[in-house]
Amino acid sequence: MPEAILEIRDLKVSFRTFSGRVQAVDIQSLAVLPQEILGLVGETGSGKSVTASTVLRLLPERKAIVEGGPVLFKGQDLLAKTEAEMRKIRGREIAMIFQDPMSSLNPVFTVGEPLTRIIAIHQGVSLKEARERALAALGRVRLPNPDKILGSYPHELSGGMRQRVMIGMALSSNPDLLFADEPTTALDVTIQAQILRLIDDLRHEIKASIVFITHNLGVIAKVSDRVAVMYAGNVIEVGPTRDIFHRPAHPYTGLLLKAIPRLGETRDKLPVIEGAVPVIRRPETGCYFHPRCPRRDDACREARPVLAPIGPGHYAACGKPA
């Protein structure tokens, strides 16, 4: 296996809340390989966004408790970096795009202002040169009339166009790693397909690794090279996309596959999987999934399974894999 660009080991993240400490992430291991698209999938509340925020060190400092690690990015532990060091990495070497581009674009400024400013700061060029690069960035995400778009206000653009602007902005610094957190969830199905096609197209140009976060396994079937499935904060199965879809080893992955909405159907919740979201309750002992698992037996109540090899590059944390 090629050396990972990002490698997470034994990472635990919890939050101090009024009702006590809530565990959000408990990952034994997760790697992102160079120039791959990794789909990070799981129900709402399974810890996907917290994982990305931990890597980028964007968690609320007083509320979040990060334990374990390391979180190695190109061999260096991000958990050991100072805020000043992180500021150099964030937005340059590691970029992030979010579900709702409206919330990241300030409605009182034209699209061009933050875009040009960020490029000028991150790439150390004049505003004039930054504007040229902004135009190029918009062209790269296949936006027609980049000049006109730079002068538009966010509300004048469609949701799909705004997301293209955000992708262009995120890629303008040529990052090595891009987190895309539910980037198509707020878009309708047709636009969603266009954005996925764009990401698939761009991967050959940008040479970045992309972690594509989604609660819908169906969304990443076509674009991802590998899929990592999260449950209750842990990665419980990871493998080549083909194997995850055709030979899921963990019962939870099997249920996620059954829950993929059919074309044209929109669902917020996964219908077949019952239980509490967004706070996923964990049993005291055994496999976190055993209370909801159709395949459980007594052993599943006792020991917590660790990721074990199922096939080439395919791992599952289950005592009774398929």
Ligand X SMILES: Nc1ncnc2c1ncn2[C@@H]1O[C@H](COP(=O)(O)OP(=O)(O)O)[C@@H](O)[C@H]1O
Local structure of 210: helix, strand or coil: strand
Q: How far is CA 186 from CA 119, 196, 202, 318, in A?
A: 26, 13, 21, 33
# residues contacting ligand X (CB under 6 A): 16
Closer by beta carbon to Mg ion, 49 or else 173? 49
46 contact, one of Mg ion, ligand X, none, CB 5-8 Å limit per kind: ligand X
* Beta carbon nearer to ligand X, 49 or 241: 49
Residues 29-68 vs ligand X: string with x where CB under 6 A?
-------------x-xxxxxxx---------x--x-----
Taking phi first (over 0 means left), then psi (-120 to 50 degrees means alpha), and beta for anything else, what does residue 211 get?
A: beta
> Which token pair is 114?
């933050």
The 3-state DSSP class for residue 139 equals helix
Residue whose entry in the numeric block shows the structure tokens 């990721």: 307
Closer to ligand X by Cβ: residue 288 or 310 = 288
279 binds, among ligand X, Mg ion, none (CB under 5 to 8 A by kind): ligand X
Residue 217 per-residue DSSP state? G
Query: What would the two tokens of residue 167 be?
Result: 């992708």
Q: Looking at residues 66 to 85 of the shown chain, list those that interact with ligand X (rule: CB under 6 A).
A: none
Residues that bind Mg ion (CB under 5 A): 49
**Residues 263-282 within binding reach of ligand X (CB under 6 A):** 278-279
DSSP H or E run through 41: strand 37-41
The answer to whether 183 contacts ligand X (rule: CB under 6 A) is no
Interface residues toward ligand X, by CB under 6 A: 15, 17, 22, 24, 42, 44-50, 60, 63, 278-279
